[in-house]
Amino acid sequence: MTEVEMTYDRLDSSELRGTTQADYLIALDADLQVVAAHQALYEEPRFPVVELARSLRVWLADPSRGDFEFESMSFEEVGSIAFRQTRQGWVFGSIFASELPPMSLEWADVELCCRQLISRVEEDLAGLGINPGEVLRQ
């Protein structure tokens, strides 16, 4: 099985104009990269990483969770980031990257990947003086 990591650079708050949860979710973005087996699977500039962290947090908290397909206020399409369960394990996917190599992931690796992204977003929000609990709440 393969380890996967979601990371980002350059969290940008220059578009932030308000203080509602929705303002934070859509106005804070960064250059996202998903890496597995030391290979970049997906890269997207100006990705809504705060909104992604909130969605992942909600998904992880759901005891009856199924597949994850990111539904963003910033994209018309659903599934810019997806984790789908197969018989071989979990698979990362994106509607914007159809040629991804098939890689089976253990649930523990998917969960760790998601929790690490959420933790980093929480730290970065706090560093900006923003309460992460308020922004990432359900």
Q: Give the separation between CA 52 and CA 69, rounded to whole angstroms.
A: 10
Interval 60-114: pLDDT, tens = 999 888 999 999 988 889 989 999 999 989 999 888 887 777 778 899 999 999 9
Euclidean distance between the first and the last CA atom of the chain, given in angstroms as a whole number: 32
Give per-residue pLDDT as tens, 30-52.
999 999 878 888 999 999 999 99
Global pTM? 0.92
Would you state the pLDDT for residue 40? 87
pLDDT digits over 2-34, tens only?
A: 688 999 999 999 999 999 999 999 999 999 999
Pairwise CA distance, residues 42 & 4, whole Å: 11
| Residues spanned by the domain of 35 | 4-135
Q: What domain count does the chain have?
A: 1
Q: Which residue has the higher pLDDT, 96 or 119?
A: 119
Encoded tokens for 59 = 């998904």
| Residue closest to 24 by CA, chosen among 98, 121, 96 | 121
Question: What is the structure's pLDDT at 138?
Answer: 80
Q: Which amino acid is at 31?
A: D
Kindly tell me the burial class for residue 7, based on how many C-beta atoms sit within 10 Å of its own C-beta (0-12, 13-18, 19 or more).
middle
Q: Which of 25, 19, 34 is nearest to 52 (CA)?
A: 25
